[in-house]
A and B are shown apart, each in its own frame.
Chain A
Amino acid sequence: SQQGEEDPQALSIQEGENATMNCSYKTSINNLQWYRQNSGRGLVHLILIRSNEREKHSGRLRVTLDTSKKSSSLLITASRAADTASYFCAFRPGTASKLTFGTGTRLQVTL
């Protein structure tokens, strides 16, 4: 299977804490992306990291990619209640244009 696996499945933290989510995949990839999905809404693109990059930052987000281990992590620093959502990694197997999504992490940030 080419699907991605994420852990943890669910994460509950307090506002101000950092949240780390991990993603593993099985194929060679061109790039890996992270998306956020608020309940009942569509997916919002957060950040893309290419296969030749190891780390990328965007605001409070930090993404790492280890192609030798076929894994990626998303770190959200100084979390806010508004960060409560499901987070998915998504990647393109080989040269495909389609995205293969991970199983997702449900993040709950409480006040």
Chain B
Amino acid sequence: EPEVTQTPSHQVTQMGQEVILRCVPISNHLYFYWYRQILGQKVEFLVSFYNNEISEKSEIFDDQFSVERPDGSNFTLKIRSTKLEDSAMYFCASSEEGQVAQHFGDGTRLSIL
């Protein structure tokens, strides 16, 4: 069964550094998402992406965050200057359409030191 893959599984970065999290969505999906989950808390929506542009974003997704689909397969989340509070699991998801089930990757654990 096709799945969403994320790399790396664990990223350790110094505060203030830039980090790029990578995702390969399911190939025939058109909608892409990033969510995050701070340890022990619930999953929070960051951004959705459709037709090569952001379709929706949360208040968490400020100017330090950006997303890109650089080619036909990858979907990336960049954090420009990381803060301690960015430490979390970051999940990528994709869906065929905007109103159906989303399929999640196993996440990238981001640790900011």
Which of A's residues lie within 8 Å of B, judged by CB? 3, 30-31, 33, 35, 41-45, 48, 88, 90, 92, 96-104
Contacts and interface: CB of A to CB of B under 8 A. Distances in A.
Interface of B: 4, 31, 33, 35, 42-45, 48, 50, 55-56, 58, 91, 93, 95, 98-107
B91 A48 contact: no
Contacts of B93: 43
B102 A99 contact: yes
A31 B99 contact: yes
A42 B43 CA distance: 11
Contacts of B45: 98-100
A44 B42 contact: no
A103 B42 contact: yes
A44 B103 CA distance: 7
A42 B91 contact: yes
A102 B42 contact: yes
Q: From DSSP, what is the main secondary structure of chain A's interface residues?
A: strand
Contact of B99 (A3, A88, A97, A100): A97
Nearest to B57: A98
Given A3-B42, A101-B43, A104-B42, A48 B100 contact: yes
17 contacts: A31-B99, A33-B102, A42-B4, A43-B43, A43-B93, A43-B104, A44-B104, A48-B100, A90-B43, A92-B99, A97-B95, A97-B99, A98-B33, A99-B45, A101-B35, A101-B42, A102-B42
B56 A98 contact: yes
Contacts of A103: 42
Contacts of B103: 45
Given A48-B100, A97-B95, A99-B35, 9 more contacts: A33-B101, A42-B4, A42-B91, A42-B105, A45-B102, A97-B48, A98-B45, A99-B33, A101-B44
Nearest to A97: B98
